[in-house]
């Protein structure tokens, strides 16, 4: 077990959140703003038993064990594809410590670790009732996306079926776009449905986000009793919010994570990075009501997308001077002084210019 003590402390800001808020006007926030409590940062380069820690792209909390499951997006290049079990010391004062309690290797259906470049892990969710985890891959060595069902130790049991619309064809006219695929997973409150969402549009649905318009991502619902895909919807991302300081600089925007609310709505995380500006993270509350169901349809043209409303956002310098990083994770955590905790985390891309950042918010638990 390796313990990382707190590296920084930022004062909490006043705010509140209701797990199931009453209907509000479309231009109003769907939930009151959460209260920021603090952060802990793990510098790039830390090694645990010779394996570099980082690439955290998905995070979920198992209440029974008090453990956070954090999946790395390392494509078995630095070490076999894996997830970490983390224990965090959380309180109203922030994150006092983080223990990297264990590292578990992800395996394929053959029971073996994935070869170099053979997988691209992105999201993870814990199904405590079934004692299993679900995790998504943006693409294997041939670019095929997958959702794995595994034991709590990471050993694969099966994969879930995906509609043909998500699977790349030989002509390149259908399927996920490379590195813009299954970024977020969420389990419905009743435990019957797994939701998966793409970062940006499928090839046949449209282009990736630009400075002028967003991108039509797809949300897919999978029945966890049968393992079969069900309804699909269009989710329109925001356009890229800023332009680079210098012409030609990198810029993007897309969905990086998703989480279910107790009332059945979803929270999406839209993450944008613009060279010379930094990161912009937006949290939206999404309702399935009123959206067109598009599964099996030849085109999404004219389909009514999911309704989304801005909950809160984080720009560089917000929350008392926060240096926000590449946020790709969102989960509810344990109760803190009668409130629900919310933990978000960043993917450091194994870059010395970035870090693995964990941030704590709290919110009234609601009924």
Q: Is 59 helix (H, G, I), strand (E, B) or coil?
A: strand
Q: What is the pLDDT of residue 18?
A: 35
CA atoms of 70 and 73, how far apart (whole Å): 10
Per residue of the chain (367 residues), give pLDDT as tens.
Answer: 443 433 333 223 223 333 333 333 345 678 878 999 999 999 999 999 999 999 999 999 999 999 999 999 999 999 999 999 999 999 999 999 999 999 999 999 999 999 999 999 999 999 999 999 999 999 999 999 999 999 999 999 999 999 999 999 999 999 999 999 999 999 999 999 999 999 999 999 999 999 999 999 999 999 999 999 999 999 999 999 999 999 999 999 999 999 999 999 999 999 999 999 999 999 999 999 999 999 999 999 999 999 999 999 999 999 999 999 999 999 999 999 999 999 999 999 999 999 999 999 998 876 4
CB hemisphere CA count around 89 (13 angstroms): 10
214 and 236 Cβ atoms separated by less than 8 Å: yes
Structure tokens that stand for 316 in this block: 């560089």
- Tokens 């009453």, residue? 22
33 and 15 Cβ atoms separated by less than 8 Å: yes
> Where do the domains of the chain lie, and which CATH numbers do they carry?
2-364 (2.115.10)
- Tokens 């897309």, residue? 254
Nearest 5°: the CA angle 119, 121, 127 is: 125
Q: Locate all alpha helices (DSSP H) within 200-343, ordered by sequence.
A: 318-321
CA atoms of 163 and 54, how far apart (whole Å): 31
Q: What is the pLDDT of residue 365?
A: 78
Q: Locate all alpha helices (DSSP H) within the chain, ordered by sequence.
A: 318-321
Structure tokens that stand for 125 in this block: 């969710």
Phi/psi at 54 (nearest 5 deg)? Answer: 155, -175
Structure tokens that stand for 362 in this block: 């709290």
Name 226's Cβ contacts closer than 8 Å, sequence gap at least 6. none
Q: What is the pLDDT of residue 84?
A: 98
Q: Which helix (H) or strand (E) holds 232?
A: strand 229-236
Global pTM reads: 0.92
């Amino acid at each position: 077990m390796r313990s990382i003590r707190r590296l920084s402390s930022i004062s909490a800001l006043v705010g509140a959140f209701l797990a199931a808020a009453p209907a509000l006007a479309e231009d109003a926030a769907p939930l009151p703003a959460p209260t920021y409590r603090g952060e802990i940062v793990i510098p790039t380069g830390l090694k645990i038993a010779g394996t570099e820690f980082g690439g955290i792209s998905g995070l979920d909390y198992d209440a029974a064990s008090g453990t956070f499951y954090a999946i790395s997006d390392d494509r078995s290049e630095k070490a076999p594809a894996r997830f970490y079990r983390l224990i965090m010391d959380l309180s109203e004062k922030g994150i006092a410590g983080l223990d990297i309690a264990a590292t578990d290797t992800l395996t394929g259906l053959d029971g073996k670790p994935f070869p170099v470049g053979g997988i691209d892990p992105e999201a993870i969710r814990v199904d405590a009732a079934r004692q299993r985890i679900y995790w998504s891959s943006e693409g294997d060595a041939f670019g095929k996306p997958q959702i794995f069902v595994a034991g709590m130790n990471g050993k694969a049991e099966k994969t879930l079926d995906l509609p043909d619309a998500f699977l790349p064809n030989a002509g390149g006219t259908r399927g996920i776009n490379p590195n813009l695929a299954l970024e977020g997973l969420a389990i419905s409150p009743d435990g019957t449905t797994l939701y998966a969402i793409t970062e940006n549009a499928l090839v046949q649905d449209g282009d990736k986000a630009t400075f002028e318009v967003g991108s039509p991502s797809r949300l897919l619902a999978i029945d966890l009793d049968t393992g079969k895909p069900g309804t699909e919807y269009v989710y329109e991302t925001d356009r890229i919010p800023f332009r680079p300081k210098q012409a030609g600089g990198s810029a993007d925007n897309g969905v990086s994570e998703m989480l279910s609310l107790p009332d059945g709505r979803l929270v999406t995380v839209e993450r944008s990075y613009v060279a010379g500006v930094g990161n912009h993270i937006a949290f939206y509350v999404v309702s399935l009501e009123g959206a067109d169901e598009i599964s099996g349809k030849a085109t999404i043209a004219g389909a009514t997308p999911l309704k989304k409303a801005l909950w809160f956002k984080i720009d560089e310098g917000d929350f008392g001077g926060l240096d926000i990083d590449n946020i790709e994770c969102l989960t509810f955590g344990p109760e803190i002084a009668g409130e629900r905790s919310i933990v978000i985390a960043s993917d450091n891309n194994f870059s010395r210019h970035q870090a693995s950042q964990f941030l704590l918010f709290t919110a009234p638990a609601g009924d």
